[in-house]
Amino acid sequence: MAERTLYQSAPVMRLYIAEHPFHYEMENLCRIFFPYHRIETIPCGTDGNGAHILDYGTLGAYTGMQTELGGIRLQARLFFGGRERTAEERTSLSFPGDLKELERRMGVLLFGLLTQACAYTPKWGILTGVRPIKLLRSLAERMGEEAALQSFQQDWLVSAEKTELSRITMGNEQKILSLSRPESFSLYVSIPFCPTRCSYCSFVSSSVERTAKLIPEYLELLCVEIQHTAEVAKGLGLRLESVYIGGGTPTTLSAEQLAQLLDTITAAFDMSTCREFTVEAGRPDTITAEKLKAMLPRGVTRISINPQTLNDHVLETIGRRHTAAQTLEAFSLARACGYDDINMDLIVGLPEDTMESFQETMQGVLALHPESITVHTLSLKRSARIFQDDSEPFSRDAALAGDMLDWGDAQLLQHGYAPYYLYRQSRMVGNLENTGWAKQGKESLYNVYIMDETHTILACGAGAVTKVRDPYSDQLKRIFNFKYPYEYIRRHGEMLTRKEQVRTIYEEYWRARQTLSSV
């Protein structure tokens, strides 16, 4: 069944919007509590007497803003379980002068109704954004750290434990952010191929079984784009800080193809300033001694070996064609080949996983002593097969995912790992988080830079997005590559033309700075 048809057939929650522009944030708040519903946002009409016309059906919400003498009235309503709940606030704030604060306050009203009706309080409160640490840092710069932490809990309704996690993460991030210079950039290279497609996956990746014939031509053209990108970076006087080859699963390439890719990168760019070079090996069933030996002498300093779980039944359920034993073998092989910086990814909230199973997985991974462990929360993307197929067994228990995270966080702290970057995605189970944990000195620079949007990321390959950041402001412009390998191959010339926009954007930034300096 097509994705659009599946989504349209999902149960509906009607969200009425009256006289305010906050529909996106109100929709995201509703989705925290009703992640399997289609949120239908409706501008609120009125009858002949000026009253709002509401037809909730079985589930609906209303948010409205009305200008009154001396201020503004905010109102939220929720119809659920045959009962309507209401909340309102009158404030002396002005519109649009206090736009963000009005949005926050309306969010608080709606959130309160949702928590009452659902008997569930998400630990990130009304925060729905991808980068909560960036918000906390911004608050701390404006009002001081202590007041910012207090605001996180009181104004944004973030729990005490998530506030503390954010505080520690922010401090560890800062050490890495301070390494970046105005001329810094990082390189991302996309290998959008995997042995099979996992049922929870929403990334632009293609099964090798279906697309193996594309890989040789894709790689040749990717190397051309990398060389062209290096020329652009050199012409702008940019300084390379980190390289990240991701996907997909880069180790679906053969040892010879990996060598070709790595040789192209190291020959094209000035690697003397590069602090970190990561290859996401990812799937244990793609890792061989030949590939590991091809990467290490070509400058790779860090790899990921991602079990997601060490439960074979769960692995089978999510479509991973490898076993827990293969993960352990791949890790041992990497150590034997000389790798001393290995990350491992885990996911909480996987279908058929239990607390006991997750605990066994975490204990098994900790016993390997990897340098870093990234703990993800399952994200319910509509393009993922697991979300589209009602026959899939699926754990919908947000409380269980939260318990897994809490237990895992405590274990990681006890074993000498510290959180150093944190981000969130839409439709995550329980509106929780993904957190990178590392031993001291083994934090991934690239992960921090990409999440904080610290400096420019030049990206090559299908599905890659270049982000050109103004070194002297928060302004950032994106340049999108074509999403799919066949499209990337067919229209490759356009990719090279688009990379020329990087020069143009930097020139715009420099002109703007010169103008400000002369004022």
Are 459 and 329 in a shared domain? Answer: yes
Could you tell me if residue 3 is inside a domain? no
Q: What is the pLDDT of residue 426?
A: 75
CA angle 111, 114, 118 (to 5 degrees): 145
In a domain, 512, yes or no: no
38 and 159 inside one domain: no
Strands 83-91 and 71-80: antiparallel
Largest CA distance in the chain: 78
| Beta pairing partners, 372 | 343, 438
Q: For the chain, what is the domain count?
A: 3
pLDDT given for residue 211 in this prediction: 75
Q: What is the structure's pLDDT at 283?
A: 87
On whether both 141 and 76 belong to a single domain, the answer is no
Using CB atoms within 10 A of its CB, is residue 415 exposed (0-12), middle (13-18) or buried (19+)? middle
User: 121, 147, 167: which is the final residue of a domain?
Assistant: 121
Segments of the chain with pLDDT less than 50: 1-7, 202-206, 383-396
Q: Specify whether 98 is located in the same domain as 133.
A: no
Residues 415 and 476 in one domain: yes
Three-state SS for 189?
strand
Q: Is 333 in the same domain as 442?
A: yes
Same domain, 110 and 136: no
Distance (Å, whole) CA 352 – CA 394:
7
Are the beta carbons of 438 and 417 closer than 8 angstroms?
yes
For residue 400, tell me if it sits in a domain.
Answer: yes
Exposed e or buried b per residue across 64-98, where buried means at least 16 C-beta atoms within 10 angstroms of its C-beta = bbeeeeeebebbbbbbbeeebbebebeeeeeeeee
CA distance 13 to 35: 10
Reading the block at residue 381, the tokens are: 């993307």
Decide if 290 is inside a domain. yes
Host domain of residue 222: 184-505
User: Is residue 27 domain-resident?
Assistant: yes
pLDDT at 407: 97
- Kindly state whether residues 173 and 189 are assigned to the same domain: no
User: What pLDDT does residue 70 have?
Assistant: 85
Please give the pLDDT value at position 421. Answer: 96
Give yes or no for a contact between 270 and 229, defined as CB atoms under 8 angstroms apart: no
Residue 197: inside a domain, yes or no? Answer: yes
Q: Using the 3D structure, point to which of 93, 121, 149 is the last residue of a domain.
A: 121
| 197 & 220 share domain | yes
The whole-number pLDDT of residue 371 equals 98
